[in-house]
Amino acid sequence: MSSTANGKNGTWRNWGGTVAARPARAVTPASVEELTEAVRRAAEEGLTVKAVGSGHSFTSIAATDGVLIRPQLLTGIRDIDREAGTVTVEAGTPLKRLNLALAREGLSLTNMGDIMEQTVSGATSTGTHGTGRDSASIAAQIRGLEMVTADGSVLTCSDTGTEEERALFAAARIGLGALGIVTAITFAVEPLFLLTAREEPMTFDRVTSSFDELWAENEHFEFYWFPHTGNTNTKRNNRSAGPERPVGPVKGWFEDEFLSNGVFQVANWVGRAAPASIPAIARISSKALSARTYTDIPYKVFTSPRRVRFVEMEYALPREAVVEALRELKATVDRSRLRVSFPVEVRTAPADDITLSTASGRDTAYIAVHMFQGTPHQAYFTAAERIFTAYEGRPHWGKVHTRDAEYFAGVYPRFGEFTALRDRLDPDRRFQNDYLRRVLGP
């Protein structure tokens, strides 16, 4: 799930194939000092600067025609403080590497998303999240940040610093790359624990009518609805005293690789070639996975392989509105000529205090719609977005959407705080690109 590196023609592409950029040059700094020098040099030449991670954003949030910073040498754990319950990690570290290293140390993040191919800075800067009743996004688990700003200086901030540092911390945890280039992140961690996952098919009517109870009864609840059917697959993750009972290698390979990736890939190829077959394929796919229960360490429960490439839109809605919005989406698909081969994912998050977090100030539920890579997605995404914005939905910063600064000023009460901070830290717009110009204003 990594982005395409600069090829023979110097073009950078994201994982989903939705964005291509031709930077003036790419820099791979091996230290914070080398990064500050690259920023200063870009300023002298009048070039913009953007850092890229794994390229897993579907928007052009990391694209630039200036200097492209590739962080793959800024990786690894700097420090583990067991007494404080924190770990400080270099910004280019992939989440997968962090999760493995923490597990070896008997530690874990409290919550995480369902893939771990992103870098820690890319995931947090765009608001990557999993699902949780009480535990929030990856960015909400940050306790401190180090970043290089537009003038080449290095700033640190935390929730225990001065008032100015706390204001920066509130914004920079999900900074969109607009405030500076993050070089290190300090996360809250806890002793390694076990989760029991219960995966179970459930009808759409049952899961939507029982959504509040399912959310309240489980630490982590999510489900996938298969368009053109009345079927869903639910997943409930809760802490467990053990013992470990991981998915067996044969069953795990069959369901996670063969069915969820291999067969699903072929089904999508067939659906792309013959869209009329998609409803029938969906009915078969929605019944392919059986109920299962397993107990394992967190990253082995929260995350799963995602090898079938897709394009995605995801909106954060007030949690109390999600069932009504999802029912509207189902009705729209049912009465239309749309053919949707990918399931719709529903997750939740508690309110947090991060300025531009999609869960900022309100209990939230997410609806994510996907289309197979190479399949026309505009009609479906436009219809979905019309529903989501009617509920003052907030789009994921790294996923497809059409919203602009005027819209965000209306759905984020603290939007002006962020743009004022950006004016102070980057008055010359060293970290500007077309995406930030659209979503934050010129």
Domain span holding position 129: 77-191
Measure the CA dihedral 205/211/213/215, to 10°.
150
pLDDT of residue 374: 85
Gap between the Cα atoms of 221 and 212, Å rounded: 10
**Do residues 348 and 283 share a domain?**
yes
User: Can you give the CATH number for the domain in which 368 is found?
Assistant: 3.40.462.10
- CA separation for the pair 175, 35 (Å, rounded): 18
- Work out the average pLDDT over 168-182: 97
Tell me the residue type at 431: F
At 225-253, the pLDDT tens digits run 999 999 999 999 999 998 999 887 655 54
380, part of any domain: yes
State which amino acid sits at residue 111: N
Separation of alpha carbons 354 and 180, rounded Å: 17
Domain boundary among the residues 165, 191, 217 is at: 191
- Do 162 and 226 share a domain, yes or no? no
Same domain, 221 and 320: yes
Burial of 8 per CB tally in 10 Å (0-12, 13-18, 19+): exposed
Q: Is residue 56 part of a domain?
A: no
Res 270: pLDDT: 64
**pLDDT, mean over the chain:** 91
Domain-embedded: residue 156: yes
Q: Rounded CA gap, 339 and 371, in Å?
A: 10
**pLDDT of 278:** 74
What the block records as the tokens of 204 is 């759409």
- Domain check: are 92 and 158 in the same one? yes
Return the bridge partners of 21, or none. 12
Cα separation, 100 vs 118, in Å, equals 14
Q: How many CB atoms lie within 10 A of CB 386?
A: 11
310, pLDDT greater than 80: yes
Query: Quick one: 206 and 262 in the same domain?
Result: yes
Q: Is the distance from CB of 179 to CB of 57 less than 8 angstroms? A: no
pLDDT at 291: 87
Domain edge (last residue) among 395, 411, 435:
395
DSSP bridge pairs for 356: none
Do 163 and 205 have their domain in common? no
Contact 14, 56 (CB under 8 A): yes
Q: Clarify whether residues 83 and 232 are in a common domain.
A: no
Give the closest residue to 304 by CA, choosing from 344, 373, 247: 247
Q: Give the pLDDT confidence score for residue 5 in this predicted structure.
A: 43
Instruction: Identify whether 106 is part of a domain.
Output: yes
Write the secondary structure of 275-298 as one string of H (helix), E (strand) and C (coil).
Answer: HHHHHHHHHHHCCCCCCEEEEECH
Are 329 and 384 contacting, i.e. CB atoms less than 8 angstroms apart? yes
Q: State the Cα–Cα distance between residues 273 and 390, nearest whole angstrom.
A: 34
pLDDT of amino acid 251: 55
In this structure, is residue 415 part of a structural domain? no
Position 213 pLDDT exceeds 90: yes
Q: Please tell me the total count of domains within the chain.
A: 2
Q: How far lies 415's CA from each of 385, 395, 407, in Å? A: 21, 14, 10
pLDDT digits (tens, 9 = 90+) for 88-115: 999 999 999 999 999 999 999 999 999 9
Residues 40-73 have pLDDT tens digits of 999 999 999 999 999 999 999 999 999 999 999 9
Residues 198 and 341 reside in one and the same domain:
yes
Tell me the pairing of strands 220-225 and 231-240.
Answer: antiparallel
User: Which tens digit of pLDDT belongs to each residue from 252-265?
Assistant: 544 554 445 555 66
